[in-house]
């Protein structure tokens, strides 16, 4: 298998095996016109198996989505084919339009232009609550 090196872009690494496609879908990487590679079930000394996503393009990467789906991922930033920065992603304190409130009485149901905003209320259990109605999302 041959995957070209990245000139300018990102490598999303240390994705828990099997979550690569979910990140691909949520980041809407299928809408990009630049090359994107998803590598699944790669052997890893640290994790056993992992997924990797390579994006050869200068895009805005939504780290809220990355942190929500898999808070242990790392993002390598590549410029001129060189690693310039390695970022650790953590569970975000706030999510905006990543998850949506399922409470039919929430104001976001009737006021559809309102953003869906959730705050992290229990880090260990990964519980978020809607800022408008306090509905729990696990």
Mean pLDDT of all residues in the chain?
92
Global confidence as pTM: 0.83
pLDDT in tens, 114-137: 999 999 999 999 999 999 999 999
Regarding whether 129 and 64 lie in a shared domain, the answer is: no
Regarding whether 80 and 105 lie in a shared domain, the answer is: no
- Residue 56, domain extent: 9-88
Q: How many folded domains does the chain comprise?
A: 2
Q: Which helix (H) or strand (E) holds 107?
A: helix 107-110
pLDDT in tens, 75-91: 999 999 999 999 999 99
What local confidence, expressed as pLDDT, does residue 100 receive?
A: 94
In a domain, 32, yes or no: yes
pLDDT at 25 over 80: yes
In a domain, 4, yes or no: no
- CA geometry: angle 35, 97, 115, nearest 5 deg: 140
């Amino acid at each position: 298998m041959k995957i070209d090196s990245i000139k300018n872009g990102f490598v999303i690494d240390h994705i828990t095996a099997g979550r690569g496609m979910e990140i691909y879908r949520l980041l809407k990487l299928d809408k990009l016109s630049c090359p994107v590679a998803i590598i699944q079930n790669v052997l890893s000394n640290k994790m056993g198996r992992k997924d990797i996503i390579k994006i050869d393009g200068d895009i805005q990467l939504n780290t809220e989505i990355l942190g929500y789906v898999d808070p242990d991922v790392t993002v390598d930033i590549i410029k001129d084919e060189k690693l310039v920065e390695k970022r650790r992603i953590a569970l975000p304190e706030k999510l905006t339009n990543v998850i949506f409130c399922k409470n039919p009485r929430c104001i976001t149901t009737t006021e559809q232009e309102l953003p869906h905003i959730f705050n992290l209320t229990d880090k260990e259990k990964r519980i978020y609550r809607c800022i408008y109605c306090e509905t729990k999302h696990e």
